[in-house]
Amino acid sequence: MITYIMLGLILGLFFFFFSIFLKNKKIFFKAHRQAKDILLQTEQKNKAQLKKLQERESVYRQENRDFLLRKKNRLEHKKQQSQSYLKRQERFYSEKIVEKTKISKKISSIIEKNTLEMKTKEKEVEQTKKDNQVQKNILKTNLENSAQANVVDMKEYLKEKRGNQLEQNAKIQSKELLESLSVMAEKKAKNILHNGLNRFTMPYCPHRGIGIITFNSDEHFHFFCETHSHLFPKLESICELTIKTTEQTVEVLTRDPMRRKWASDFLEKILFYKKPLQDGQMEEILKKQKNYLLKTIQDDGKKAFQKLQLKPLHNNILNVFGTLQYRYSFTQNQYAHCLEVGFLCGLLASEIDAEVKKYRLSGLLHDLGKAIDHNKQGGHAVIGADLLARHDVNPDVVYAIRSHHHDTPPKSSLDFLVIAADALSGARPGARRSTANSYNQKMDQLEEIGNSFNEITHTLVLNAGRELRVFVDSKRVSDKRILDLHKELVEKVETECKYPHQIKIMIIRKSSAIQKAGRAS
């Protein structure tokens, strides 16, 4: 059974593979036929392509033959051109050679000619050298002969030249030294003033002015005038002054400070007397007042010297100095001013290691002449110095007082420190102020200066004398003239006015044109 099954399977497999073989063979023959057909078609295509290639080759050969022919023709043409160019170049260079030959012949002839000339020149140069040597020998001989004669002159010339150079260098060095010393001196002076002012502790609160008696009411004033006005003429005669009555005031007018104080004390004494004075009472009161005043003046003089720890001088000097208690300058009390200057002078002297007492004495007495300048001619500095010289005061002190307003030129440190201390005391805030008279004088002076120019039509003084405004005539003054006029006005104000502040000056020129326009209705 199994054998039949195996036989059946083998036969089945045989027929299966045989059928596959037949089928593949059929496919093979079919593919063979198709391959033959493809080969035949390919061969036909190749023949057609070969034919086309042969045709193209023939065409290419023909074209190549034409190209080569054209190229050959071009080369032959270029060859002909090159040959013609070479012929032209040959002719050109042959002509150049001929020309160069001619030039070389000319150059050779010129060289020969120059050679002959050079030989001639060499001979001339040799002769010139010989002549120069002869002249040189002659000149050398002359110089040797004249050198000895000019040695002294040359020495003097060199000495003068060197001296001028040294003088110029010395001037430059001295100028630089002076500038450096000036800077150092200014710095040192500022330091001295700074230290001295920091040490200044003297209080200052004196009364302002004397000679004016004021009243509390009109009734009191009228009662005083009705009761005691008959004494005024006699008082004026005894004290040699003038008494002026105004609204609620009685003013004593005189240049002598002691007489003004004497009369003022008398009027203040009788101010509240309800009855008229009897005969002889006035003279008695005046005598007592005078004695008391003289004693007070002498005591004030001694006190000033005691405050500065100085040895008192002659009684006459003490009396004159005490009178300064009633002397004023720009409302500054001169007694207190002299004390300030003396104290400041001593402080500044201590900063420079100078003799303090001599400097204090010079500062204390520097304005002594103001006490007696009302009845003597000259400046107070000269008057005071002359008074001290008559009483054998130290000549250095006398000279410092005489020169503190530059009546004589200051020389020593004492002179300059007195000037500095005087300026410091006067410049202290609140020390001085202008009076009504000085203010009015200043305003009038500025107005007079403005009106002194013919071109100025009107003058205004504004801001308490700190501004001057003037108007000019526009018909007489041009814009260009305004500048010159302004300069002249400024120079005149600076020359004639001596005030410690700046003054603004303005010039106004106004031009106007007025004309009516319109038609009549």
pLDDT of 208 higher than 60: no
Reported as a pLDDT band with limits 50, 70 and 90, residue 279 is low
| Cβ-based neighbours of 58, under 8 Å, separated by 6 or more | none
Per-residue model confidence (pLDDT) at position 334:
86
Distance from C-alpha of 138 to C-alpha of 118, rounded to nearest angstrom: 30
Mean pLDDT of 347-354: 85
**Which has the closest alpha carbon to 238: 289, 276, 286?**
286
pTM given for the model: 0.52
Per-residue model confidence (pLDDT) at position 400:
92
Higher pLDDT, 39 or 216: 39
| Cβ-based neighbours of 370, under 8 Å, separated by 6 or more | 324, 327, 329, 334, 380, 384
- Phi and psi (nearest 5°) for 207? -75, 160
Per-residue model confidence (pLDDT) at position 396:
92
Looking at residue 245, what DSSP letter applies?
Answer: E
Structural contact between residues 259 and 293, judged by C-beta atoms closer than 8 angstroms: no
Mean pLDDT of 40-52: 81
Classified by CATH at the fold level, domain 200-427 comes out as Hypothetical protein af1432 (1.10.3210)
Angle at 335 between CA 332 and CA 338, to 5 degrees: 90
Mean pLDDT of 362-382: 85
CB atoms within 10 A of CB 264: 21
- Taking only the tens place, the pLDDT of each residue in 429-464 is 666 665 556 677 788 888 888 888 888 888 998 887
Distance from C-alpha of 189 to C-alpha of 352, rounded to nearest angstrom: 10
Distance from C-alpha of 8 to C-alpha of 406, rounded to nearest angstrom: 171
- Taking only the tens place, the pLDDT of each residue in 49-82 is 888 888 887 777 787 787 888 888 888 888 888 8
Higher pLDDT, 296 or 11: 296
pLDDT of 394 higher than 80: yes
Give the length of the chain: 521
Per-residue model confidence (pLDDT) at position 153:
64
Per-residue model confidence (pLDDT) at position 176:
80
Reported as a pLDDT band with limits 50, 70 and 90, residue 361 is very high
Structural domain boundaries in the chain: 200-427, 437-509
Mean pLDDT of 21-46: 75
Higher pLDDT, 94 or 186: 94
For helices 257-269 and 281-307, the axis angle rounded to 10 degrees is: 130
Lowest mean pLDDT among 63-77, 197-211, 277-291, 360-374: 197-211
Higher pLDDT, 288 or 63: 288
* Residue at token pair 């007042």: 289
Output the average pLDDT for the chain.
Answer: 79
Angle at 109 between CA 104 and CA 113, to 5 degrees: 145
Per-residue model confidence (pLDDT) at position 181:
75
- Taking only the tens place, the pLDDT of each residue in 14-32 is 767 666 766 666 676 777 7
Which class in CATH covers the domain with range 437-509?
A: alpha beta
